[in-house]
Chains A and B, each alone.
Chain A
């Protein structure tokens, strides 16, 4: 029987796959974003914010931040699991990471939907 220490983390394939899928999406978005940003006619507020206010780009950017939150959750959690051995501290760090990332995702959504 495998004994698992319950520290609020997920295990196994889902996170492994999720991290790669979100990574692949963010790589694709990066190319789309870099191309759009580097071909802006003028780098001022009007052109820059218009880049994100279009329906498609807003959706893709929102998806980017959601992917980022999930991707970073798995990655940062792995760092805690590798280096932080005391369970209470590890659990606390997991929770802080999770709360921060959920907060960042909400912040990103607010920025995008105000445009």
Chain B
């Protein structure tokens, strides 16, 4: 066995977040984490709205009033995107775990697809629900 005898050079460490250009799959990955964290943080708000919406006709009216507020609409629009991105990217990760689409070019294409589909669905559903 001949091990390469050349001493490894110290590899440069480069972690400047403002300078790192993530490839598309990396962007999908970090957005998966960010969208998940956002959904977790606002989960009590969503449960509160769900509680109001199903409990009684009176609380349903309260729910309607709350989600009618422009600021709340904006937040829900963001959460809709977060859910849809998490959903699409999650399906992509499940397929990758099953070794489907792990070639570089396919992985780039599917990452692009996730970003496009989740944004498109957000706009369509968002506009339709408003």
Chain A residues close to B by CB (< 8 Å): 20, 23-24, 27, 30, 44-46, 48-49, 52, 68, 72, 75-76, 79, 100, 104, 107-108, 111, 114-115
Q: Which of B47, B54, B57 has the most CB of A within 10 A?
A: B54
A108 in contact with B97 (CB, 8 Å): no
Contacting pair B40 A76 (CB below 8 A): yes
Residues of B within 8 A of A52 (CB): 54
Query: A45, B97: Cβ atoms under 8 Å?
Result: no
A23 to B57, CA, bound (A): 33
Cα distance, A65 to B51, chains bound together (Å): 13
Asked if A45 contacts B44 (CB within 8 A), the reply is no
Q: Which residues of A contact B87 (CB under 8 A)?
A: 27, 30
Instruction: List the B residue with the shortest CB-CB distance to A34.
Output: B125
Contact of B53 with A by CB under 8 A? yes
CB within 8 Å of A: which residues of B? Answer: 33, 36-37, 39-40, 43-44, 47, 50-51, 53-57, 60, 87, 90-91, 94, 97
A111–B44 contact, CB under 8 A? no
Q: Is the CB of B60 within 8 A of A44?
A: yes
State the Cβ distance, B55 to closest chain A Cβ, in Å: 7
CA of A24 to CA of B51, assembled, Å: 25
A58 to chain B, nearest CB (A): 11
| B60 & A72 in contact (Cβ 8 Å cutoff) | no
Q: A20-B94, A27-B91, A30-B87 are in contact. Are A49 and B54 (CB under 8 A)?
A: yes
Q: Give bound CA distance, A108 to B54, whole Å.
A: 12
Instruction: Considering the complex, give the chain A residue whose CB is closest to the CB of B32.
Output: A75
Q: Is the CB of A107 within 8 A of B47?
A: yes
Tell whether, in the assembled complex, residue A20 and residue B97 are in contact, meaning their CB atoms are under 8 Å apart: yes
Residue of A nearest to B84 (CB): A30
Further pairs besides A76-B36, A104-B44: 17, Cβ < 8 Å: A24-B94, A27-B90, A45-B53, A46-B57, A48-B60, A49-B54, A49-B60, A75-B37, A75-B40, A76-B37, A76-B40, A104-B43, A107-B47, A108-B50, A111-B51, A111-B54, A115-B54
